[in-house]
Amino acid sequence: MSDSFTIIVPERVMIPEEEAHALGKKMLSWLREKAWVGNPLPGCILTRELGYRLTKNAAEIILPEDLPLFSWVADHCDQQVYGYLAIDVADELKVVHHSGQGGITSAVCPACGQDIGEQYYDLIETWWNAEGDENVICPACQQPSPLPAFRSDPVWGFSNLSFQFWNINARFSENFLAAFAKELGEPVRLVTGKV
């Protein structure tokens, strides 16, 4: 059985742990107030001990053309659900969220617009090994830029805070993503994939 995921990742990397936990709680409260997320269910999600079931009302956050895909799926406990949300504050400040399969096919520098392709991996490694959240140097133009400023395909994220939606089998609406970013108070990016 394959698991699909859609991760909403803040653009800001290395969010202080206390702030990241507070933001996670704030967003969970907001999602529950909207009745898009229900009660927690332990042990039935791939990456965490605790996941929150998506409710039928979560159809409001799905692209209209994807609504036929938003249906019951069997989870790891053989229960029928619409999907799960896991909120993760990583123990480490530097985290890479990737698509799970395949790799980077394109990475465009925000300064020069050059596609550096697989050299992006070298920039990620440089950023990972550096102290703090240093800018990385584009190999094409030699200009420094924040790692998340590069436009990669598929999209990767780099925050220690993430909102992981598992097995929803549909895409989020732009209105939902804009409302999510506004409530969070941070610009976000979407990382999708399968494991």
Beta strands in 91-160 (DSSP E): 106-108, 136-137, 144-145, 151-153
117-126 confidence digits (pLDDT tens): 999 999 999 9
Same domain, 42 and 111: no
What local confidence, expressed as pLDDT, does residue 51 receive? Answer: 82
The confidence band for 47, taking pLDDT boundaries of 50, 70 and 90, is: low
SS3 82: coil
Same domain, 164 and 149: no
Residues 6+ apart with CB under 8 A from 125: none
89-100 confidence digits (pLDDT tens): 998 889 999 988
The verdict on residue 149 lying in a domain is yes
126-173 confidence digits (pLDDT tens): 999 988 778 999 999 999 999 999 999 999 999 999 999 988 877 899
Structure tokens given for 30? 């907001």
Same domain, 171 and 85: yes
Q: Which domain holds residue 119?
A: 106-153
Same domain, 64 and 14: yes
Q: Taking residues 10-18, what's their average pLDDT?
A: 93
Which of 1-5, 127-131, 179-183 is the least confident region? Answer: 1-5
What local confidence, expressed as pLDDT, does residue 45 receive? Answer: 57
Distances (CA, A) of 190 to 99, 178, 195: 10, 12, 16
The predicted model scores a pTM of 0.88
| Total domains in the fold of the chain | 2
Same domain, 20 and 69: yes
Same domain, 66 and 145: no
Residues 6+ apart with CB under 8 A from 153: 104, 105, 106, 107
Same domain, 35 and 74: yes
The verdict on residue 100 lying in a domain is no
SS3 110: coil
What local confidence, expressed as pLDDT, does residue 99 receive? Answer: 87
